[in-house]
Amino acid sequence: MIGRLRGEIAIKQPPELLLDVNGVGYEILAPMSTFYEMPPVGEQIMLFTHLAIRDDAHVLYGFASERERALFRGLLKVNGVGAKMALAILSGMSADEFSRCVQSNDIAALVRLPGIGKKTAERLIIEMRDRLQKLLDLPKQGVTAATAFTQSTATPVNDAIDALMALGYKLTDANNMVRAVESDGLASEAIIRAALKALKV
């Protein structure tokens, strides 16, 4: 099992990144909460990881903190919640916000996330309530202080739309979410953050 990786960020294209560890490139999927804390391409980071072994692939997930990884693993234990949905939850709200939703039975906030209907939201609240305290007692500290997001050759708006679609939003919804926020001069990460934040209003 791969539990932690330290290396240089080679590529950032949310929700994917390539981490160069001593010449070996690890393809990693990460929630936006982790991307928000990443330094620019070329800098060193350390990520806590979760390796999912499927029949058709080995998929590596990366997280800024043990707390995020623990919540991801806790979500995977909920009936009907897979890795893609768990990533969408961690991208759409922080661990503290998720905890508040569970403790206050806020189904409305959970169903705003892609792929989560009323029944799944109710199941999340019931099954996660008892597990949350242990998970949230873990350290909050992330990989590094937040820094500017290094752009790819694509436009920030297109990168943001692609990232939202990878998190489970439909193309039309992703387009509408991005167009609804002021994106001039913003990096992809900032556009994604604003679009996801607007859903909570």
- Which pTM value belongs to this model? 0.71
Q: Which DSSP helix (H) or strand (E) runs through 122?
A: helix 118-136
Residues in the chain: 201
SS3 assignment, position 26? strand
Sorted by where each starts, the structural domains of the chain and their CATH numbers stand as 4-63 (2.40.50.140), 67-136 (1.10.150.20), 156-199 (1.10.8)
Q: What is the pLDDT of residue 166?
A: 81
**CA–CA–CA angle 10, 11, 17 (5° rounding):** 110
Q: What is the mean pLDDT of residues 130-156?
A: 55
Q: What is the mean pLDDT of residues 88-101?
A: 88
| Average pLDDT in the chain | 85
Structure tokens at 111: 């169903």
Handedness of CA 8, 197, 180, 108 (dihedral sign): positive
